[in-house]
Amino acid sequence: MNEGRIAALAELARLELTAEESARFSGQIDAVLSAFQNLAQVSVEGIEPLYHPGHLQVTLREDQLRDSDPDRSGVEAYRVPPVL
């Protein structure tokens, strides 16, 4: 990755990089991009996409009407101090 692209990425990320940091990040970004290129070469033919890492079973229950606060039964609303 050249200095121009590093400068453009730094500007997008609102980073101020020194020349030393730009050189170091250039090598690191090249390594990451190389790793993604290696992943792109892996054959995934016949493999189903994994939409979630676990097989979850959602258990639903019937909605039931119940008191939200049994200690305050009969009270229609809560009183709060004025905001202003």
Cα–Cα distance for residue pair 26/84, rounded to 1 Å: 55
Q: Residue 76: what pLDDT?
A: 63
- The residues spanned by each domain of the chain are 1-41
Q: Residue 64: what pLDDT?
A: 84
Q: Residue 70: what pLDDT?
A: 64
- For the segment(s) 1-41, the CATH number from 2.30.30, 1.10.20, 2.40.128, 1.20.1300 is 1.10.20
Cα–Cα distance for residue pair 25/44, rounded to 1 Å: 31
pLDDT mean by block of 10 residues, the chain; 84 residues: 90 93 92 93 88 76 77 67 84
In 3D space, the residue among 50, 47, 44, 7 whose CA is nearest the CA of residue 26 turns out to be 7
Q: Residue 31: what pLDDT?
A: 94
Cα–Cα distance for residue pair 27/81, rounded to 1 Å: 59
Q: Residue 48: what pLDDT?
A: 86
Element (H, E) at 14: none
Two tokens, residue 57: 């079973």
Q: Residue 16: what pLDDT?
A: 94
